[in-house]
Amino acid sequence: MPGQVTSVAVLGTGIMGGAMAKNLAAAGFETRAWNRDSSKAEALADAGVTAQETPAEAVDSADAVITMLADGAAARSVMDEQGALSAMDTRAVWVQASTVGVAATEELSGLAGGCGIGFVDAPVLGTKQPAEDGDLVILASGPRECQEPLGPVFDAISKKTVWLGEAGKGTRLKLVVNSWILAMTTALGETVAIAEALDVDPSAFLEAIDGAAMDSPYAQTKGPAMISGSYETSFPLSLALKDVRLVLEAVGDGAELRLMEAIRATNERAEELGHGEADMAAVAEAARPAPSRPA
């Protein structure tokens, strides 16, 4: 297990990982990065982050390794098949910050254990702006002896860390939170469509609930994007769809998730309409009537 952490490798420097790497470098950590599209890692040079050509080179001699990748398959590929895990020092710790689901978390934890590497399951709450501002919330779970060494690392990228016990509990709580976020976003999209169908300005809806008990910051953030149809990506719809599938997979027969099934179908429809890489607010497009086609 690590002593003082002075060097960190970030594997995956997309919207979230790139911002995390910048904040780590700004906090004084020696920060290295790797990304499948190397230009995204190289773009961090001005922030003091050193890009590496391979995952194994990035993690070599790092005290902590953070994976912020698309899914469990990507994390397994980078850490196992591309050799990052075997290149890590046995005193280093792997912080798995991607949302990969329960089954994949268990698999990745097992891979780490097989190599004698400490594993911390630490998915994050937040999207683009909180990541850039260092205002994420970390749902950490793993060995108690990792908590103190990782404290300064987590402080550099988050406003709060919640430690939850053994590895895997962070992922379980993340799925619970994501189910709530997905429900809010999908319901908001349909509410905007209902207003439009009833010839009500949906902005009047947002004004009516502003500051009231039924209001939410998500409504006031995502609502204007839904109304304008402008979906600058803070969190891609394709990843939101991945997350609802992970919720359904993890719960299985443990509950009757009729709402989650409907949310999956609605997000799948939005993806079919070509909005997979747009912000998750584009789920609203699934509720709008199809454009009329010429005869």
**What are φ and ψ of residue 175, in 5° steps?**
-65, -35
Neighbours of 201 (CB within 10 A): 11
Residues near 94 by Cβ (< 8 Å), separated by ≥ 6? 64, 65, 67, 79, 85, 88, 112, 117, 118, 119, 120
How many whole angstroms separate alpha carbon 165 and alpha carbon 179? 21
Catalytic site residue 222?
no
Question: Could you tell me where the DSSP H helices lie in the chain?
Answer: 15-26, 38-42, 55-59, 72-76, 84-87, 102-114, 128-133, 147-157, 169-197, 202-209, 217-228, 237-251, 258-270
The DSSP 8-state label assigned to residue 48 in this structure reads T
From 183, 245, 273, 266, select the one nearest 219 (Cα to Cα).
Answer: 183
What's the token pair of residue 17? 């990982």
Query: How many residues in the chain?
Result: 295
Rg (CA), the chain: 20
The DSSP 8-state label assigned to residue 80 in this structure reads I
> Which one from 22, 169, 174, 222 is the annotated catalytic residue?
174
Residues involved in catalysis:
174
